[in-house]
Amino acid sequence: MSLPLDPHLVQLYLIAVCVLVLAPGPDSLLVLTRSIADGRQAGVVATLGISVGNVIHALLAAAGISALIAASPALFDVLRYAGGGYLAWIGARSLWSAWASRNQAADAPAAAPDSAPLRAVFTQALLTNLLNPKVILFQLAFVPQFIAPDLGHVGVQIFILGNIITALGALYLAGVAALSAGAARRVLSSPRVRAALDGVAGVLFLGFAVRLLLTDRKFA
């Protein structure tokens, strides 16, 4: 049984998705920070949480639920505020970690921080993805451009295309986890460097939070 997809449109979609996957965002930043702080396994678990979130978003889009959320100002605002608040909370925690370690001597060996529980890493990654209304807008505004209505099964097409970016994104994020975790021990040997990384991550997460809070429903 052949898939109800237009091969030419799929080729164009793959090119566009590869560009989008490489664009920095809260997902890639989360995998990067978790890999550096807690190791490669935590980075892979974060990637898994983000991927599960993407699958859920694709399923909601295929079922038409995402369109209902985007069409409702109240529901969209709840999701936008929840997502922005959650990213701001992650950013604030990173900034606090940087502030708390500011007085450590530059040449003092850094004590190995306690690794975050993998369940907590998974949950954080899943919520970061699910509470991001930009993913909903992506599924509604971008994916339909590569749908071939004449082939039928529009919901199936949306689900398949939505999960192509899930698969490619997972491969990219797994690579980020492996590369960043490999250099983590050398980087984290300096308390000042670790504090600086926490500070940069905190500022970036707060920036993503502000950008998310400014998102509107005009995706057409």
176-192: per-residue pLDDT in tens?
A: 888 876 666 556 556 67
5-45: per-residue pLDDT in tens?
A: 888 888 988 988 888 888 878 888 889 888 887 888 999 99
Residue 186's CB: how many other CB atoms inside 10 A?
9
Phi, psi dihedral angles at 38 (to 5 degrees): -120, 0
Q: Which residues contact 52 (CB under 8 A, 6 or more apart)?
A: 126, 129
Provide the mean pLDDT of the chain. 80
User: b/e per residue, 138-165, with b = 16+ CB within 10 A?
Assistant: bbbebbeebbbeeeebeeebbbbbbbbb
Q: What's this model's pTM, rounded to 2 decimal places?
A: 0.77
d(CA 78, CA 131): 9
Task: Please report the pLDDT score of residue 219 as a whole number.
Answer: 46
Q: What is the token pair recorded at 209?
A: 């939070």
Q: What is the mean pLDDT of residues 82-107?
A: 73
Q: What is the token pair recorded at 93?
A: 């925690």
Burial of 89 (0-12, 13-18, 19+ CB in 10 A): middle
207-219: per-residue pLDDT in tens?
A: 878 877 777 655 4
CA 2 to chain centre: 31
d(CA 174, CA 42): 10
- 4, 36, 52, 127, 180 from 183: Cα distances, Å: 44, 8, 27, 27, 6
Q: Which residue has the higher pLDDT, 204 or 146?
A: 146
pLDDT > 50? residue 220: no
Task: Please report the pLDDT score of residue 46 as a whole number.
Answer: 94
pLDDT > 50? residue 105: no
64 neighbors 189 (Cβ within 8 angstroms): no
